[in-house]
């Protein structure tokens, strides 16, 4: 059973769509369930000023993608990199255990986008600490 928040983010996803001028993109997938997520970020002065997503997957994958954009926007790269799958699930008021892998994907996609941005700017994750 999905929470009202999960259903809301699935039926009314926030920040959905490809960002043409993204500074970095994180792409992740789960071959077992077939979900595929792209997280796009725009960064200024190490703050994520905009974030969007494109997801092919189930209701939980879409909801977690939507939620990750909501909790990421306005955070520093360091703060955003610390967002975990648990943070995503808690902000959605829980996910069924069988769908927790979906929150892994959205958090992993965000982390990959941040890693890509850092690589492009000649830095690594270690530079965020």
Q: What is the CATH number of the domain that holds 25?
A: 3.90.1010.10
Domain-located, residue 84: yes
Which pair of tokens denotes residue 87?
């943070």
Domain-located, residue 25: yes
Which pair of tokens denotes residue 1?
């059973």
**Integer Cα distance of 120 and 72 in angstroms:** 20
Domain-located, residue 129: no
Range of the domain at 28: 4-123
* pLDDT given at position 38: 97
**Integer Cα distance of 102 and 98 in angstroms:** 9
Per-residue pLDDT for 4 more than 90?
A: yes
**Integer Cα distance of 48 and 116 in angstroms:** 13
Domain-located, residue 128: no
Once rounded to an integer, what is the mean pLDDT over residues 4-12?
96
Domain-located, residue 85: yes
Domain-located, residue 74: yes
Domain total of the chain: 1
Domain-located, residue 43: yes
From the list 43, 63, 89, 102, the catalytic residue is 102
Condensed to tens digits (0 to 9), the pLDDT of residues 72-123 reads 999 999 999 999 989 999 999 988 888 877 667 999 999 999 999 999 999 9
DSSP H helices, 1-129, are 4-11, 59-72, 77-81, 85-91, 100-120
* pLDDT given at position 100: 75
* pLDDT given at position 116: 98
Reply yes or no on whether 33 is catalytic. Answer: yes
Alpha-carbon Rg for the chain in angstroms? 14
Domain-located, residue 106: yes
From the list 7, 33, 36, 59, the catalytic residue is 33
What does the angle CA 12 – CA 72 – CA 104 come to, to the nearest 5 degrees? 80
What does the angle CA 83 – CA 86 – CA 88 come to, to the nearest 5 degrees? 65
User: pTM for this one?
Assistant: 0.93
């Amino acid at each position: 059973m999905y929470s009202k928040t999960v259903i809301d983010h699935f039926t009314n996803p926030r920040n959905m769509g490809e960002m043409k001028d993204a500074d970095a993109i994180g792409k992740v997938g789960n071959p077992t369930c077939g979900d595929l997520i792209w997280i796009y970020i725009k960064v200024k002065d190490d703050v994520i000023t905009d974030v969007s997503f494109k997801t092919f997957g189930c209701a939980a994958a879409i909801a977690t993608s939507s939620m990750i954009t909501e909790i990421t926007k306005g955070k520093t790269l360091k703060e955003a990199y610390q967002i975990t799958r648990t943070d995503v699930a808690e902000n959605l008021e829980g996910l069924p255990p069988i769908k927790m892998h979906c929150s892994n994907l959205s958090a992993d996609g965000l982390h990959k986008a941040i890693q890509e941005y850092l690589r492009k700017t000649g830095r690594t994750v270690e530079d965020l600490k």
